[in-house]
């Protein structure tokens, strides 16, 4: 079975500091990887996705993620966070077929 | 832009009531999904549909049913609401491309069952 592990449930970080949100998945076959963001009282929005090709993926709002097949990881990074980045972040995995598998989420709080 | 709408943002129901949550997408997507979101548990798939009148159970289908009579609409039904179904419910749709697919989410319905 697929599983997605987000290692940190809460990440506090000061404004303008860098941040990394960690995601590991369990699979030895090809997967498609996604990061979604959920702002308070809203649905999920796609930040970025890895389908194939370059392992460094750039998304919206200055976020990027790196696919590491040997470590089965897809960590999300931003070099300098803003207050507006405070939100819940979800990592998701999809193989062939229709079902997505989501992690339990990481709550990012940016401190002024 | 893809738009996924859900009929209510907030809903309060009593135990034992039959509850309908409606979801509509406007991009002719093949697939539609219902999730529930609970703190510390992330998103858990209840049901999904890959075509009109077709449905498949997700990870937690007990206590729920679904209906997809038209391509753009996917309804989640709680036959007899219980307090443990108090949650945030998220609807999503995706184009149905094999593998390389992206889900688009609605704003969510926060359901409270008293």
Report pLDDT digits (tens) over A63-94: 999 999 888 999 999 999 999 999 999 999 88
More confident of the two residues A30 and A94: A94
For residue A74, what are the domain limits? 4-111
Quick one: average pLDDT of B19-45?
A: 93
The CATH number for B19's domain is 2.60.40.10
Beta B73-78 vs B64-70: how paired, if at all? antiparallel
Q: Is the pLDDT of residue B67 over 80?
A: yes
d(CA A31, CA B34): 22
Substitution target in A98, A101, A103 with the highest count of B β-carbons within 10 Å is: A98
Quick one: average pLDDT of B74-81?
A: 96
Q: How many domains does chain A have?
A: 1
| Residue A41, both tokens | 């009282």
What is the percentage of chain A residues whose pLDDT exceeds 90?
A: 68
Residues of A in contact with B42 (CB under 8 A): 6, 90, 102-105
For residue B64, what are the domain limits? 4-92
Residue B88 covered by a domain: yes
How far off is chain B from A106, nearest CA to CA, in Å? 9
Quick one: average pLDDT of B52-57?
A: 90
Lowest mean pLDDT among A26-35, A72-81, A97-106: A26-35
Residue B28 covered by a domain: yes
Whole-number average pLDDT of chain A: 90
Adjacent-strand bridge partners of B4 = B25
pLDDT band for position A2 (50/70/90)?
Answer: low
The residues, ordered by sequence, that sit 6+ positions from B84 with a Cβ below 8 Å of its Cβ are none
The CATH number for A37's domain is 2.60.40.10
pLDDT band for position B100 (50/70/90)?
Answer: low
Cβ-contact B33, B93 below 8 angstroms: yes
Q: Is the pLDDT of residue B99 over 60?
A: no
Adjacent-strand bridge partners of A50 = A33
Residue B53 covered by a domain: yes
For the beta carbon of residue A1, count every other beta carbon within 10 angstroms.
6
Q: How many domains does chain B have?
A: 1
Within 33-52 of A, beta carbons closer than 8 Å to B belong to 34, 36, 41-46, 49, 51
């Amino acid at each position: 079975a697929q599983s997605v592990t987000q290692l940190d449930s809460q990440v506090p970080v000061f404004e303008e500091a860098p941040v990394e949100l960690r995601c590991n998945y369990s699979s030895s076959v090809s997967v498609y990887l996604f990061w979604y963001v959920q702002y308070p009282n809203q649905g999920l929005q796609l930040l970025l996705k890895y389908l194939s090709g370059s392992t460094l993926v750039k998304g919206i709002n200055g976020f990027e993620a790196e696919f590491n097949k040997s470590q089965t990881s897809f960590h999300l990074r931003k070099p300098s966070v803003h207050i507006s980045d405070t939100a819940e972040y979800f990592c998701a995995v999809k193989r062939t077929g229709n079902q997505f598998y989501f992690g339990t989420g990481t709550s990012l709080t940016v401190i002024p | 832009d893809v738009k996924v709408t859900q009929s209510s943002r907030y809903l309060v129901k009593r135990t034992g009531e039959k509850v309908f949550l409606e979801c509509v997408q406007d991009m002719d997507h093949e697939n539609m999904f219902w999730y529930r979101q609970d703190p510390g548990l992330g998103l858990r798939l209840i049901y999904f549909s890959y075509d009109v009148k077709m449905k498949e159970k997700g990870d937690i289908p007990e206590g729920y049913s679904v209906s997809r009579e038209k391509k753009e609409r996917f309804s989640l039904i709680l036959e007899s609401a219980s307090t443990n179904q108090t949650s945030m419910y998220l609807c999503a749709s995706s184009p149905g491309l094999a593998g390389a697919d992206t889900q688009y989410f609605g704003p969510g319905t926060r359901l409270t069952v008293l």
